[in-house]
Amino acid sequence: MKAFNHTKYRPVPPVTLRNRQWPDRTITQAPRWASVDLRDGNQALLEPMSVAQKQRLWKLLVKLGLKEIEIGFPSASQPDYDFVRWLIDNDQIPEDVTVQALVQAREDLITRTFEALKGARRAIVHVYNSTSTIQRERVFAKDRDGITAIAVQGAELLRREALKHPDTEWTFQYSPESFTGTEMDFAVAICDAVLDVWQPTPQRRC
């Protein structure tokens, strides 16, 4: 057996923060825990859960006291869509629990996601697009500007769809997919471009 060849991997670029203060701070309250079992956990299964199985897991997660729960990818899966609608139509979401749905930065998928979440008291919409060097070159054949345009358009679509549903308290989240394969400066730049659209504040996180 050959020894592991670590030399073929690039070293992780260092991040130098000269005014770093958090190591000296003490946590005084519990962090915000978010469960992704119903989405990421389900995606990892050889045979995805049925709606009935998701319902059982949901009840367990709520019983455990989790306050943020990712409930699926409703625009990409009919069972996920049906499960999300079951939660909302049957008033299964406690008042102090916020649900989250994942969606790719594509107009049809974003529209479908908001349709699934219609009627929720509070919801997080987590949008993403691929940003790594190899995906830009091999999959999308786009440069940095082209990939940034996808992210910005997705951010604008989230704002537009949220305005159609003012009774829901919306929070937006953005992730550069394949972050570890993305140049550090570009990862920062594309996140900043999305924030320029959303203009978040401490009182309004999206």
Residue by residue, DSSP assigns 4-65 as P-GGGSPPPPP---TT--GGG----S----EE-IIIIIHHTSSSPPPHHHHHHHHHHHHHTT
The pLDDT assigned to 205 comes to 67
The mean per-residue pLDDT over the stretch 95-106 comes to: 98
Question: Does residue 81 surpass a pLDDT of 70?
Answer: yes
Question: For residues 107 and 103, what is the distance between their CA atoms, to the nearest angstrom?
Answer: 10
Q: Is 2 helix (H, G, I), strand (E, B) or coil?
A: coil
Claim: this prediction has a pTM higher than 0.95:
no
Q: What is the mean pLDDT of residues 82-108?
A: 98
pLDDT > 80? residue 5 = yes
Place of tokens 């009774």: 167
Instruction: With a cut of 70, say whether residue 206 has pLDDT above it.
Output: no
Provide the β-strand partners of residue 89: none
Structure tokens at 129: 């697009």
pLDDT at 6: 78
Mean pLDDT of the region 80-86:
98
Mean pLDDT for 52-77 is 97
pLDDT digits (tens, 9 = 90+) for 103-161: 999 999 999 999 999 999 999 999 999 999 999 999 999 999 999 999 999 999 999 99
Q: What is the mean pLDDT of the chain?
A: 94
pLDDT higher than 80, residue 32 = yes
Name which of 128, 125, 73 is nearest 98 in CA terms: 125
Nearest to 155 by CA among 203, 121, 105: 105
Percent above pLDDT 70 for the chain: 99
Q: Which residues contact 127 (CB under 8 A, 6 or more apart)?
A: 103, 104, 105, 110, 154, 155, 158, 172, 173, 174, 175
Q: Evaluate whether 67 touches 60 at the Cβ level (below 8 Å).
A: no
What is the reported pLDDT for 146? 98
**11 pLDDT higher than 90:** no
Q: What is the dihedral of CA 16, 17, 21, 22, to 10 degrees?
A: -60
Q: What is the pLDDT of residue 9?
A: 82
Q: Spelled out in words, what is the top-level CATH class assigned to the domain 32-198?
A: alpha beta
In this prediction, residue 203 carries a pLDDT of 77
Q: How far is Cα 66 from Cα 106, in angstroms, rounded to an integer?
A: 30
So what's the pLDDT on residue 204?
76
